[in-house]
Amino acid sequence: MLAWLFGKKSPDAHEAPDTRDAHARMPVQMHWRADMAFPVPDWQAMDAALPEDADETLLHGYYDAAAAHWLDVLATALPAGYRQTGTTDFLLLSAQSARESALVLRSCTQALRAIRSSLGPLACDTGYGRHVVLVFACQDDYDAYLSQYQRDGEDAPMSSGVFINAGYGHFASWHDGLDELEAVVVHELTHALLARLPMPEWLHEGFAVNVEQTLLPRLADPRLALYRPDEMAARHAAWWDATTIQAFWSGAAFHTANDGVDLAYDLARTITALAAREDDIAFRAFAAAATREDAGARAADDTLGYPLAHLVEAVLGEGDWAPRPQAWTTPSS
């Protein structure tokens, strides 16, 4: 299963300063977006306020302090009980008890180390400031927060967690039990560590689901699946055609509330694993070069040596499976 993911560990990224003590934070002038329902910093304005000669130490301190202040303000905008805690690598905002928060942070730290090792050189964790984790007490709070990041007219599919790659990238969940949250942490941290790459959404999700199932094998236990393999094969055959496959390639299939969402994730997982098994080196090159604009079609031709449609044919059989960006009506993300 993605054997190359368990190769040599990539060098550790430089650590952000530990600013758990609010009094030790660098003083930062905050700028806020006026178009958001919840407090969200205007990160472009924050960037512009930095001196041109800012060094690594200043950048870490500045963004870490800004993130910590952001979470303090966000806590006041949420129902009572939310508080901020942190470690060297993470800032957590939740309404959990001190013990539960400590368990979540420990799980996050363990997951980060494992994913860095798994993804190898594809992982990039060299940004400034700590990883921000929001764990909402209920789905209503979670949905309300996410709604401000949705595109106009975009459906809101059910989800237990998401990586928000906007401004200061962060991830959020509404599960407050460690067992449920663990899978979200692994899945969304994988997205976070791959965020610098322009890869298409299907490949992003393929990586995230495969890493999730590799590090948490219980999630791949067929006894826990809702459908038998033959039932999933029948569902795929009934759902995908020359039109619906374009929603998969463009990324739109991952942002709808219909029955095709789980099929999109399953297809992404399957064809990502297929591509990785055939040629480790070529797959690494493909993952680094694939772009959203054409779903990775050009990169597949150049690095894998075959068109993307061949991967889908291996799962669904012959059909009109090639990406056709000119037919996409929903922007990829």
Share of the chain above pLDDT 70, in %: 88
- The residue count for the chain: 333
Give, in order, the Cα–Cα distances in Å from 130 to each of 59, 64, 81, 328.
12, 6, 22, 36
pLDDT score at 158: 64
Please tell me which of 6-20, 121-135, 267-281 the model is most confident about, judged by mean pLDDT. Answer: 267-281
Is residue 313 in a domain? yes
Mean pLDDT within 280-295: 95
Is residue 222 in a domain? yes
Is residue 210 in a domain? no
pLDDT digits (tens, 9 = 90+) for 314-333: 999 999 999 999 999 754 44
Is residue 22 in a domain? yes
Domain residues for 231?
Answer: 217-327
Q: How many Å apart are CA 94 and CA 84, to the nearest integer?
A: 7
Task: State whether 257 and 288 are in the same domain.
Answer: yes
Is residue 208 in a domain? no
For the record, the structure tokens of 181 come out as 């949250």
Element (H, E) at 132: strand 131-135
pLDDT digits (tens, 9 = 90+) for 22-45: 446 889 999 999 999 999 999 999
Task: State whether 191 and 229 are in the same domain.
Answer: no
pLDDT digits (tens, 9 = 90+) for 212-248: 999 888 888 888 888 999 999 999 999 999 999 999 9
Cβ(104)–Cβ(92) under 8 Å? yes
Quick check: helix, strand or coil at residue 266? Answer: helix
pLDDT digits (tens, 9 = 90+) for 59-100: 999 999 999 999 999 999 999 899 999 999 999 999 999 999
Q: Model pTM?
A: 0.76
| Rg of the chain taking only CA atoms, in angstroms | 20
Task: Inform me whether the pLDDT recorded for 160 exceeds 80.
Answer: no
Task: State whether 243 and 279 are in the same domain.
Answer: yes
Q: State the DSSP code for 305.
A: S
Task: State whether 63 and 172 are in the same domain.
Answer: yes
Instruction: Report how many domains make up the chain.
Output: 2
Quick check: helix, strand or coil at residue 318? Answer: coil
Mean pLDDT within 262-282: 94
Cβ(122)–Cβ(111) under 8 Å? no
pLDDT score at 332: 45
Share of the chain above pLDDT 90, in %: 61
Q: How many Å apart are CA 80 and CA 95, to the nearest integer?
A: 8
Task: State whether 155 and 295 are in the same domain.
Answer: no
* Confidence label for 152 from pLDDT (cuts 50, 70 and 90): low
Is residue 70 in a domain? yes
Task: Inform me whether the pLDDT recorded for 209 exceeds 90.
Answer: yes
